[in-house]
A and B are shown apart, each in its own frame.
Chain A
């Protein structure tokens, strides 16, 4: 006998869960890229001037 309440819970939590995990990852990657590009800016500038 299928536990339909659990099935619906899995369906909704699964969809939302994947979405939130990927969104959290997107934000983390974007933040890290911003920090890294800020750190690398002086080096890039020195390279282009040199």
Chain B
């Protein structure tokens, strides 16, 4: 009887708890607090945090290869590259590319911000990460969660968890990280630049946009195919106006289901052994560096473009090339309004903001082309 009871105790998780597990619980609790109380990107951060908690409960075997429930989500959803493209389908169905079509120059601003990715890439190499790890970390600078997860899962799966947490944390911190950089790199006069109202965009233009974008980008960067195809398909659903049911599903049920599976799978990769390494601090530092460089690059590119443009761009919208949609656009708009109350920059800033999503996918695909 006593030995049976002893066996039961030894079969429990309590006996196998380590200090590392407890530290990971603490991290999970902090992330849950940020998600629930502070509402930092709760849609992803909450399942990620819970995934971290449950995977660090010993001998639950949730991530046991070929057996664990969450392993199956991870293997068939992320390793098989199914979930990130489906998230892009939903994102495409929710994105309005009108501001980009009305002012296509902002595509360059969306691309310019990707300098944050390549700048952070170099710094990551200098800090001792290898080529694939550096690319997986640097993509945080694109401020696009699904793309970061997609790239990290292919190039450095052992860094997937910290990269995802860093990406979503910094996306939530955009209103704190960006403004000092924006103030430093722009003058009061530049922040006051008023941009003319965007021209109206016809339905046909909005229908043609995803078709042309898919053709151009997938021909030039074939490695982008999975993400770009789904992104543009979702957008075509929305803009065609003839598949309301599919659009609704892509925007709502599908998006919600894959978000749940993605979040918990990513969180469950963060075991104590993987996460409690000195290199994790470097990842968070590099994420911050990437965001700062991306913000600066977008603003400086806008200022450079202004040298050649008759109708000036308010350089604040360059910072919105960091594709944290719509937060970065709101930050640019708020700073513009603070400088000049009559300035309404939100729709102008949405242009580079959504263009940045395309830019980040292109940057990730170029990295994949070289490194995969």
Q: What residues of chain A have their CB less than 8 Å away from a CB belonging to chain B?
A: 2-4, 6-7, 9-11, 13-15, 17-26, 28-30, 32-33, 36-37, 39-40
Contacts and interface: CB of A to CB of B under 8 A. Distances in A.
B131 A32 contact: no
B204 A22 contact: no
B101 A29 contact: yes
Contacts of A25: 104, 107, 212-213, 216-217, 358
The 5 closest A-B pairs by CB, nearest first: A22-B111, A26-B107, A26-B104, A29-B104, A22-B107
A2 B124 CA distance: 11
Interface residues of B, number: 40
B212 A22 contact: no
B367 A18 contact: no
Contact of A6 (B122, B131, B205, B208): B131
Contact of B370 (A4, A6, A26, A28): A6
B363 interface: yes
A26 B122 contact: no
A22 B361 CA distance: 11
Nearest to B102: A33
B366 interface: yes
Nearest to B135: A10
Contact of B220 (A21, A29, A40): A21
A22 B359 contact: yes
Contacts of A22: 107-108, 110-111, 355, 358-359, 362
B118 interface: yes
Most buried by B among A2, A14, A25, A37: A25
A36 B208 contact: yes
B118 A11 contact: yes
Interface in B93-119: 100-101, 104-105, 107-108, 110-112, 114-115, 117-118
Contacts, number: 107
Chain A contact residues: over half helix, strand or loop, or mixed?
helix
A16 B306 CA distance: 20
B216 A7 contact: no
A29 B115 CA distance: 23
A7 B122 contact: yes
Contacts of A19: 108, 111-112
Interface string B80-99: 00000000000000000000
Interface string B112-156: 101101100110010000110011000000000000000000000
A39 B114 CA distance: 35
Contacts of B130: 2
Contact of A18 (B101, B202, B212, B363): B363
Interface string B248-271: 000000000000000000000000
Given A26-B107, A28-B216, A36-B208, A2 B358 contact: no
Contact of A14 (B101, B204, B205, B363): B363
Contacts of B104: 25-26, 29-30, 33
B209 interface: yes
A24 B216 contact: yes
12 contacts: A2-B125, A10-B135, A14-B121, A17-B362, A18-B363, A19-B108, A21-B362, A22-B107, A22-B358, A22-B359, A24-B216, A25-B213
Most buried by B among A7, A11, A39: A7
Contacts of A9: 370
A46 to B, nearest CB: 15
A15 to B, nearest CB: 5
Contact of A28 (B131, B212, B363): B212
Given A21-B217, A25-B213, A32-B205, 17 more contacts: A7-B125, A10-B131, A11-B121, A13-B370, A14-B114, A14-B117, A14-B121, A14-B363, A18-B114, A19-B108, A22-B358, A24-B216, A25-B107, A26-B105, A26-B108, A28-B213, A37-B202
